[in-house]
Amino acid sequence: MPTAELIVFLIITFLTVLLFVQAVSKKLKFIRLGAKENRSDHPGKRFANFCANVLGQRKLLQEPYGFIHFFIFWGFIFIALGEIPFILERVFPNITIPILGTSPYFYLIKEILASLVFIGLIVGLIRRWIIRPARLYLSFEAALVVILIYGVIITEWLTSGAKLALMGSHPAYSLDFIYNLVAGFFAGASAESLTTTISFLWWIHVFILYAFAVYIPNSKHLHILATPFNSYFASLKPVGGQIEPMNLEDENLKEYGVGRIENFTWKQLLDSFACGECGRCMDNCPANISGKPLNPKQLLSRTLKDHLLEKGAVMNKLGITSTGEENAEALKPYTTGYSETGQVLNKKLIGDIVSREEIWSCTTCMACQTLCPVSNEHVNKIIDMRRYEVMNENNYAHELQLAFRNVEAKYNPWGVSWSERASWAKDLDVQTMKEAGDQEVEYLYWVGCAGSFDDRAKKVSVAVAKILKAAGVNFAILGREEKCCGDFIRRAGNEYLFGLMVKDNINTLNNYKVKKIITACPHCLNTLKNDYPAFGGNYEVIHHTQFINDLIKSGKLTLNKNVEMPKQKIVYHDSCYLGRYQQEFEAPRALYRMVPGVELIEMDRNHNKSFCCGAGGGRMWLEENIGERINNMRVDQALAKEPQAIGANCPYCITMLEDGIKDRADAEHAVPVIDPAELIVKMI
Amino acid sequence: MEIVVCIKQVPDTTEVKIDPVKNTLIRDGVPSIVNPFDEYAMEAAVRIKEQCGAKITVLTMGPPQAASALRKCLAMGADEAVLVSDRAVAGADTLATSFTLAKAIEKIGKPDIIFCGKMAIDGDTAQVGPGIAEHLGLPQTTYVQKIREVSPHRLIVERVSDSGHELVSIPLPCVVTVDKAIGEPRYPSVKGSINASRQEIITWTAADIEAPPDKTGLNGSCTQVMRIFTPQIQKHNEMLSAESDEALCDLLLAKLQEAKIV
Ligand SMILES: Cc1cc2nc3c(=O)[nH]c(=O)nc-3n(C[C@H](O)[C@H](O)[C@H](O)COP(=O)(O)OP(=O)(O)OC[C@H]3O[C@@H](n4cnc5c(N)ncnc54)[C@H](O)[C@@H]3O)c2cc1C
Ligand code: SF4
Ligand code: SF4
């Protein structure tokens, strides 16, 4: 390369690197405003996650169009690798770059992928601009980036093709069908004109490439850079166990939950930058679909991010790292009186930025997180904001307060007398742990508040107890010693009351040396299994549908297949807390299939894409007065399959679906909701 | 203004069941709560605090576990909590209880108002509040339903009595026992509860409050509980009627004599 050109090249390269680093470090400064959180443990596991989710594109491949992104991703990697010889060979003509500059197979793979990217982007554009799925934003940004990518790919093809034409042949390009194709076009051109063309195209290419490099970290496509990190730093805990405990004994802790953007952890902030705006979360969010103000994609990619960018810019300018009480004095000059800076600093995260309706609409169904390809963690943010409202501001719905009060006084949200907890088992001769005394008890049957007090759920409790007895299982219940497990309390943001319940329950359980727990409530299941370990309660917890399957498989329970059972189509509803949370989809289905006369059918939304009943995350105790009722929507989806019954495995789901049926179906179309245990019990 | 609220930790009597075989009360594991009337007393105190500013001290005499009842009151808005806990004060009847509480109040200082609940839902005597007033030589008004006016030297309150509603003007310092009509007790905020759980509870022994051993606990009690049992309620109703009131009285008298009641 001539010296003059080299100087120009070095200058623009330097500028590009500078602008790129500047843009990235500016974003990093925003992320660093967040609170501390350790996400560097277990590097091995993290790397494995990174490989599966980023390199393997695991979640995207589970989607119908996901393979497109897979090829685009790997196409980019190979195109990027191809840039190395492309640039260096011109700058330093005398060096040979191993593999990238010599292997025909590298070029073959690169070109196959690059052509797929080429086609993939066209398909993508058609989807975005012509089919227009509601979840994708139409934006200038999206179009611009596609133009830049085409620019990069095409100029590279042309330059290298011309180069090949000039050289006549090149061993590394022998399998590169595109270079050869392009070289064909240039055949016959003079060496001189080819040299000029190559030089011209090369420079165009470099300019487009550099523009792309500077544009990425300054645009929403920053997600390309943030995602690999976000995947690496993703929570290693099961989705049901990601709520961080709070140390309420810490006297220095004066503000609970998150009421200021910078109180989110750096990882929570990074999520916003990693969001690729693909919309999978919103497409499966029951709150969003039923017309509530919550849209998980919007929340992360716009609401929180925009606020961080705005407030973070002011904070960084003033050199403050927190706008908490401790800095109130220092902030006074900015926040009193009118100033634009003050306006920004005075904005309340909850109320001004995120509405209260938004944070209370979430059912913690985990559809968003389960489907998000970039490992974003939506639900924790919502719970953190609820914590702020409940614990810090004492500002939350009256109905929820009533449920809290009931738990405090009666240890169950219904507020039924505590001493009635074991009444459902009165005539069943089920022993309590206390009655068992010194006798070895293998399994604790955790009944839960619903199973103990809700008339409908009690029937399932009875069925389960009868099955356990018939199989000769050595089990007991806690009876009056059982207290609300705290699932909804925690997810509704009241970590304090949750802590009280957990402490008492763990004391009781550990006192009886409980190791294995069976429960018919997926919410209790998740909390006992995933929330309790952080508080010193470690148990093996299993859902009754899983346990009954085991009993049948091991021959401890034999079913009488000759009983008269009605012929019926049962449409199955996956509960969020057994399905997405535990990834248990098969056990309940297997039980229905064992029942004579039952034909099991699926709704359109099933397994990981199942639609919530609307009761999780404390929603059970809250009025639902915005948009359509989620349970009614689910009932509509079920009734569309014209079943004779709906199958469910969770007391909340059963209640919600039955309510929905009352609302939606006339007497003729009303169908029962049945837990599999209620059918199995008829066969013993 | 200084206020002392006397509270008692009681078993949640709605959860106390009768053992059908032994005919005794099953108190095992029954949750302990703040005596409901005392929550109303707390509410009355907190409302005054909100209105005209006051320092509220909650006071209880009881076992160490009673601290949790005090914490609930701290969460509702009390500033300080005092627990009188000592073997020497255990087994007290209403006389010894009110004496001990009076001694503790003297140590707390010179409160302007001492609030008590109308009665405790387990003991049910409604004597402790009036007892405190007597021991301290203070004026008292009981079964108060509404506080109309608070001034530095005087309270104007509404109370119920057998003969109807009374409007009472009472000089400070005084003892007031309250009824449920005073106003629904607030549900403490979570923040309040957390702060309360971190706050220190002042614990005094009998010696700390200079209560002589012969006046506290079992020794200082002039009544003693011999046995607790569930009364068999048998209803034998008989309606009496007669021509005139006199004839009716005679008839009643005869019946009572027959039953050896008079
Ligand atoms: C199970 C049981 C066992 C008992 N054992 C004995 C015994 O062995 N010997 C005996 O003499 N008596 C015994 N008692 C009765 C005991 O004397 C009374 O419970 C006690 O004196 C308070 O009276 P009360 O409950 O009727 O309260 P009340 O006079 O009805 O209460 C009125 C108000 O006084 C205040 N108050 C009452 N007690 C306290 C307290 N401890 N601390 C602070 N404020 C208070 C509260 O504001 C309350 O609302 C027993 C009672 C029970 C329920
Ligand atoms: S957890 Fe469910 S309801 Fe909540 S934001 Fe995610 S998808 Fe929506
Ligand atoms: S949060 Fe995840 S699922 Fe939702 S739009 Fe962003 S990348 Fe897609």
How far is Cα B4 from Cα B109, in angstroms, rounded to an integer? 10
Which atom of ligand 1 is nearest the CA belonging to B120?
Answer: 30
How many residues are there in chain A?
684
Could you give the dihedral angle defined by the CA atoms of residues A253, A254, A259 and A262, in that order, rounded to the nearest 10 degrees?
-50
Instruction: Work out the burial of residue A187: count CB atoms within 10 Å of its CB; fewer than 13 is exposed, 13-18 middle, 19 or more buried.
Output: exposed
On whether any CB of chain A is under 8 Å from the CB of B12, the answer is yes
pLDDT value at position B230?
73
| Of A653, A639, A506, A632, the residue nearest A577 (C-alpha) | A653
Q: How does pLDDT run across A380-408, given as a tens digit for each residue?
A: 999 999 999 999 999 999 999 999 999 99
Candidate from B12, B15, B191 with C-beta closest to A391? B191
Examine the pLDDT at A145 and tell me if it is beyond 90. Answer: no
Contact in structure between A543 and A525 (CB atoms under 8 Å) = yes
pLDDT value at position A254?
87
How far is Cα A547 from Cα A471, in angstroms, rounded to an integer? 11
Look up residue A508 and give its two tokens: 């009781």
Examine the pLDDT at B22 and tell me if it is beyond 80. Answer: no
Helical pair A66-91 and A104-126, crossing angle rounded to 10 deg: 130
Candidate from B12, B30, B191 with C-beta closest to A394? B191
Domains A403-553 and A568-683 share a fold: yes
Class of domain A253-392: mainly alpha
CATH of the domain spanning A3-32+63-232? 1.20.950
Residue nearest to atom 51 of ligand 1 (CA): B123
| Of A380, A479, A383, A387, the residue nearest A431 (C-alpha) | A479
Handedness of CA A416, A421, A423, A428 (dihedral sign): positive
On whether any CB of chain A is under 8 Å from the CB of B198, the answer is yes
Could you give the dihedral angle defined by the CA atoms of residues A274, A275, A278 and A283, in that order, rounded to the nearest 10 degrees?
140
Residues 6+ apart with CB under 8 A from A181: A161
Which atom of ligand 2 is nearest the CA belonging to A369?
Answer: 6
On whether any CB of chain B is under 8 Å from the CB of A482, the answer is no
**Could you say which of 3.40.50, 3.30.70, 1.10.3470, 3.30.60 is the CATH number of the domain covering A568-683?**
3.40.50
Examine the pLDDT at A527 and tell me if it is beyond 70. Answer: yes
Q: Which residues of A touch B193 (CB under 8 A)?
A: 496
How far is Cα A630 from Cα A634, in angstroms, rounded to an integer? 6
**Ligand 2 midpoint to CA A368 (Å):** 6
Contact in structure between A144 and A216 (CB atoms under 8 Å) = no
| Of A229, A89, A70, A82, the residue nearest A163 (C-alpha) | A89
Residue of B nearest to A248 (CA): B194
On whether any CB of chain A is under 8 Å from the CB of B17, the answer is yes
How far is Cα A262 from Cα A654, in angstroms, rounded to an integer? 40
Question: B224 in a domain, yes or no?
Answer: no
Contact in structure between A123 and A68 (CB atoms under 8 Å) = yes
Summarize chain B as % helix, strand, coil (round to 5). Answer: 35, 25, 40
Look up residue A625 and give its two tokens: 């007065």
Q: Which of these ranges, A283-287, A541-545, B11-15, B206-210, has the smallest mean pLDDT? A: B11-15
**Ligand 3 midpoint to CA A664 (Å):** 33
How far is Cα A650 from Cα A448, in angstroms, rounded to an integer? 11
Angle at B127 between CA B122 and CA B131, to 5 degrees: 135
pLDDT value at position A375?
95
- Nearest CA distance, B67 vs chain A (angstrom): 15
Mean pLDDT for B197-221 is 94
On whether any CB of chain B is under 8 Å from the CB of A405, the answer is yes
Please tell me the number of Cα atoms within 13 Å of A303 on its side-chain side. 21
Contact in structure between B169 and B154 (CB atoms under 8 Å) = yes
Q: How does pLDDT run across A216-266, given as a tens digit for each residue?
A: 999 888 999 999 999 999 999 999 999 999 999 998 888 999 999 999 999
Examine the pLDDT at B78 and tell me if it is beyond 80. Answer: yes
How far is Cα B23 from Cα B30, in angstroms, rounded to an integer? 17
Neighbours of A307 (CB within 10 A): 18
- Nearest CA distance, B143 vs chain A (angstrom): 26
Angle at B32 between CA B27 and CA B33, to 5 degrees: 135
Examine the pLDDT at A71 and tell me if it is beyond 90. Answer: no
| Of A159, A160, A149, A155, the residue nearest A117 (C-alpha) | A149
**Ligand 2 midpoint to CA B257 (Å):** 77
Question: B259 in a domain, yes or no?
Answer: no
Question: B221 in a domain, yes or no?
Answer: no
Question: How far apart, in Å, are the Cα atoms of A112 and each of A60, A105, A142, B150?
Answer: 20, 11, 24, 88
Longest dimension (CA), chain A: 100
pLDDT value at position B24?
67
Residues 6+ apart with CB under 8 A from A253: A246, A247
- Of the pLDDT bands very low, low, confident and very high (cuts 50, 70, 90), residue A494 is very high
- Nearest CA distance, B68 vs chain A (angstrom): 12
- The CATH number covering residue B59 comes to 3.40.50.620
Query: pTM for the full model?
Result: 0.91
Q: Which of these ranges, A49-58, A332-341, B59-68, B127-136, has the smallest mean pLDDT? A: A332-341
Contact in structure between B88 and B205 (CB atoms under 8 Å) = yes
Question: Which residue in A386, A416, A480, A494 has the most chain B C-beta atoms within 10 A of its own C-beta, making it the best mutation to test that interface?
Answer: A480
How far is Cα A423 from Cα A37, in angstroms, rounded to an integer? 45
**Ligand 2 midpoint to CA A272 (Å):** 16
Q: Is B190's CB within 8 Å of A248's CB?
A: no
- Is B57 in a helix, a strand, or coil? strand
Residue with tokens 């009781």, as numbered in its chain: A508
Residues 6+ apart with CB under 8 A from B48: B1, B3, B54, B113, B147, B150
Contact in structure between A260 and A310 (CB atoms under 8 Å) = no
Q: How does pLDDT run across A442-470, given as a tens digit for each residue?
A: 999 999 999 999 999 999 999 999 999 99
* Alpha-carbon radius of gyration of chain B: 21
Q: Is A392's CB within 8 Å of B14's CB?
A: no
pLDDT value at position A138?
63
Examine the pLDDT at B82 and tell me if it is beyond 80. Answer: yes
- Is B56 in a helix, a strand, or coil? strand
Examine the pLDDT at A432 and tell me if it is beyond 70. Answer: yes
DSSP letter (8 states) at residue B187: P
| Of A239, A397, A294, the residue nearest A630 (C-alpha) | A294
**What ligand is nearest to the CA atom of residue B102?**
1
On whether any CB of chain A is under 8 Å from the CB of B31, the answer is yes
Candidate from A248, A405, A417 with C-beta closest to B194? A248
Q: How does pLDDT run across B90-147, given as a tens digit for each residue?
A: 989 999 999 999 999 999 999 999 999 999 998 889 999 999 999 999 999 999 999 9
More confident residue, B174 or B28: B174
The number of folded domains in chain B is 1
**What ligand is nearest to the CA atom of residue B119?**
1
Contact in structure between A654 and A456 (CB atoms under 8 Å) = yes
DSSP letter (8 states) at residue B30: P
Q: Is B189's CB within 8 Å of A251's CB?
A: no
Helical pair A305-318 and A3-31, crossing angle rounded to 10 deg: 100
DSSP string of A397-436, one letter each residue: -HHHHHHHHHHHHHSSTT---GGGTTGGGGGGTPPBHHHH
Examine the pLDDT at A331 and tell me if it is beyond 90. Answer: no
Amino acid identity, position B171:
P
Examine the pLDDT at A436 and tell me if it is beyond 70. Answer: yes
Q: Which of these ranges, A203-207, B13-17, B36-40, has the smallest mean pLDDT? A: B13-17
Question: Which residue in B30, B191, B195, B197 has the most chain A C-beta atoms within 10 A of its own C-beta, making it the best mutation to test that interface?
Answer: B191
**What ligand is nearest to the CA atom of residue B89?**
1
**What ligand is nearest to the CA atom of residue A630?**
2
Print the domain residue range for B56: 2-215
| Beta strands B80-84; B9-11: pairing state | unpaired
A51-68 burial, b for 16+ CB within 10 Å, e for fewer?
eebbeebbbbeebeebeb
| Of B47, B80, B28, the residue nearest B178 (C-alpha) | B47
Q: How does pLDDT run across A561-618, given as a tens digit for each residue?
A: 999 999 999 999 999 999 999 999 999 999 999 999 999 999 999 999 999 999 999 9
Question: How far apart, in Å, are the Cα atoms of B115 and each of A352, A420, B45, B119?
Answer: 43, 35, 7, 12
Q: Say which CATH topology domain A403-553 has.
A: Rossmann fold (3.40.50)
How far is Cα A575 from Cα A655, in angstroms, rounded to an integer? 12
DSSP letter (8 states) at residue A640: T
Question: B102 in a domain, yes or no?
Answer: yes
Contact in structure between A244 and A263 (CB atoms under 8 Å) = no
Q: Which residues of A touch B30 (CB under 8 A)?
A: 419
- Of the pLDDT bands very low, low, confident and very high (cuts 50, 70, 90), residue A137 is low
Question: B199 in a domain, yes or no?
Answer: yes
Examine the pLDDT at B8 and tell me if it is beyond 90. Answer: yes
- Of the pLDDT bands very low, low, confident and very high (cuts 50, 70, 90), residue A311 is very high
What percent of chain A has pLDDT above 90? Answer: 86
Instruction: Work out the burial of residue A389: count CB atoms within 10 Å of its CB; fewer than 13 is exposed, 13-18 middle, 19 or more buried.
Output: buried
* Alpha-carbon radius of gyration of chain A: 30
Q: Is A249's CB within 8 Å of B198's CB?
A: yes
Question: B113 in a domain, yes or no?
Answer: yes
Domain ranges of chain A: 3-32+63-232, 253-392, 403-553, 568-683
How far is Cα B261 from Cα A651, in angstroms, rounded to an integer? 58
Helical pair A104-126 and A140-167, crossing angle rounded to 10 deg: 150
- Of the pLDDT bands very low, low, confident and very high (cuts 50, 70, 90), residue A194 is very high
User: ipTM of this predicted complex?
Assistant: 0.83
- Is A185 in a helix, a strand, or coil? helix
Mean pLDDT for A287-293 is 97
